[in-house]
Chains A and B, each alone.
Chain A
Amino acid sequence: MDSANNNAAAGKNAAALEKPESQLRQMWDSLKSNKGAMVGLVIILLLVLIAVFGKLLMPFDPNSLDMSASFIHPNGEHWFGTDQLGRDIFSRIIDGAHISLTVGLSAVAISLTIGTLLGAAAGYRGGKTDTIIMRIMDMMLAIPSILLAIAFMAALGKGIDKAVIAIGLVSIPEYARIVRGSILSVKENDYVQAAKVVGNKGPRIVFKHIMPNVLSSIVVRATLGISTAVLDTSALGFLGLGVQPPYAEWGDMLGRARGFIFSAPYTLIFPGVAITITVLAFNLLGDGLRDALDPKARKR
């Protein structure tokens, strides 16, 4: 019990102690050994580079109209063809990268943060807190999400930043429900009770003992959420509430091209592929992150 005893015991065994690797280092090692996650990470880095330095890569002005050059099939000059207004699709996809990435990530960030906090409060506190929060979430879910987003935009005003906020707010209930459900099941574990017994306070129990154990479902949902956010933005853009023409945005390109699905499928395919690759990359990275964060799945 006395500290002299402690120190003696510690000193004796100090030599035998294996050098502890930092948690971050272990996670990075695990992530590195996961091929899928590394592919995802490389794609995401490329996308970020494209979003930042895209202006230098574009063969054509993405917004210049040339009606005489509309619907040109993909060829050596126009790699991805041109759209109904004669704009080069390759250039537009590069131009749209930064808007689409920003929209996807920031909308998810908004709904993830607020949804997680609300879900955590509802799941952990239970009782009246739970009822009040979850009934509000149910009300939001009862209204079609696009309609709700339009309502938010009516209140916030036009513009891409407002569209992101509206989409972020609309998908809060999904995150709240997932987090609440996971917390309800994890909360029953003895280690949560043990944390209470040794004197932990509520917030620390939630963030230190419960949250890490519900992370996997949140990560998976969030990576999928990026694609929904991109597509929802396009829907708003289609209604004239999101990205304003002529600016390129992948979802918006997809939405406007849907009339030409049979006559000029390439106008639809390439923006769709861009969205798919982005979502896939985030998904792969998300899966890898989930495994890297779980000591049990982590390879040693």
Chain B
Amino acid sequence: MNEPLVQIKNLKKYFTVDTDFLGRPTSVLKAVDDVSFDIHKGEAFGLVGESGCGKTTIGKMLVNLYKPTSGQIIFDGRDLTALSDKERRRCCRDIQLIFQDPYSSLNPRMTIGDIIAEPIIINKLLPSNEVESRVNYLLNCVGLANHQRNRYPHEFSGGQRQRVGIARALAVQPKLIVCDEPVSALDVSIQAQVLNLLDDLKAEFGLTYLFIAHGLNVVKHISDRVGVMYLGKLMEIAPKSDLYKNPLNPYTQALLSAIPTIDVNRKKERIILKGDVPSPIDPGDGCRFSSRCFKSFDGCDAVCPALKDMGGSHLVACRLFDEAAG
């Protein structure tokens, strides 16, 4: 296995929901609560979970849109959380983001050529006479034609816009790209095209992906390893094949059982969870999933399990696998 490109250590992001009259927080939303994982060079790390589980928050902390409450993001041997604003901005060039919604991620007042050229110009990556050829090259890389350079975003379809977003992310020659549900706003037929494009670009440019998605089926296509999140906590991390064959955490099992299948003869055991996702505001001390878990037992709502290595780099956070509790 390659060396890690990013090490996320005990990362936390709390949002203050309400304060008392002195400005002290009275209720806190724990969007990301003590999450640690590594992303290795050249891999695609999938991060899945339902809406509001904090996966996008992790992505936005990586690209410096949010400041972590505590914890470390070690990128290429440097702790990003300890850098000054100026150094952080320079470092940011190495980590880019592809947005979920291709309709709001492109400035409607700029031509797509300007959108792609801007990162090159403001970071002074190339002399000005080479910018144009670089933009053409990037357009070709993502499957758009040079002559479309002077068009505006509204003249493109969702899939084409997403390609522009990808070209913008590639423009600064990043090492890591955070793909924040890049296909969930697209048609299924277009989804496959964009996923294949992302796969090709990864090989061509030697990229590393943090691939955020809310369904395991999209992640299955592109990821090498997968992390499953629930309500701000990582529940399980495993190599893709291992996770799909042998899910250990009850939440992962429930998620996998929800993937629709086209094989009508195969009898599938569908695990249907009771109730809704509890509020991430002031969650209790116990396992976040305990209120809905079909395998929960005594003490699950009091003790929060830590990630535990089950061998073969398969990590799981569940008391079922804690010898002390089991």
Residues of chain A touching chain B, judged by Cβ–Cβ distance below 8 Å, are 1, 3, 5-7, 9-10, 13, 16-18, 20-21, 189-191, 193-201, 204, 209, 212-213, 293-296
Contacts and interface: CB of A to CB of B under 8 A. Distances in A.
Contact of B133 (A9, A189, A190, A200): A9
Pick from A9, A204, A213, A294 the residue with the most CB of B within 10 Å. Answer: A9
B92 A197 contact: yes
B122 to A, nearest CB: 6
Nearest to B116: A198
Contacts of B145: 13, 16
Contacts of B149: 17, 20
Nearest to A193: B65
A199 B93 contact: yes
B245 interface: no
B154 A197 contact: no
Contact of B154 (A10, A194, A296): A296
B97 interface: yes
Interface of B: 60, 63-65, 89-90, 92-93, 96-97, 99-101, 104-109, 111, 118-119, 122-123, 130, 132-134, 136-137, 140, 145-147, 149-150, 152, 154, 165, 168, 171-173, 205
A194 B146 contact: no
A26 to B, nearest CB: 10
A198 B92 CA distance: 7
Contact of A9 (B100, B122, B137, B205): B137
Nearest to B118: A198
B109 A10 contact: no
B152 A295 contact: yes
Given A295-B154, A296-B152, A191 B119 contact: no
Given A10-B137, A13-B147, A193-B65, 6 more contacts: A20-B150, A198-B96, A199-B93, A295-B109, A295-B152, A296-B152
A213 B168 contact: no
A229 B152 CA distance: 37
Contacts of A196: 64-65
Contacts of B101: 190
A213 to B, nearest CB: 6
Contacts of B106: 191, 194
A190 B104 contact: yes
Contacts of A212: 107, 109
A207 to B, nearest CB: 12
A191 B63 contact: no
Contacts of A18: 147, 150
Given A16-B145, A294-B109, A296-B152, A10 B93 contact: no
B111 to A, nearest CB: 8
Contacts of B205: 1
B108 A198 contact: no
Nearest to A215: B109
A247 B67 CA distance: 61
Contacts of B107: 191, 195, 209, 212-213
A151 B135 CA distance: 57
A117 to B, nearest CB: 20
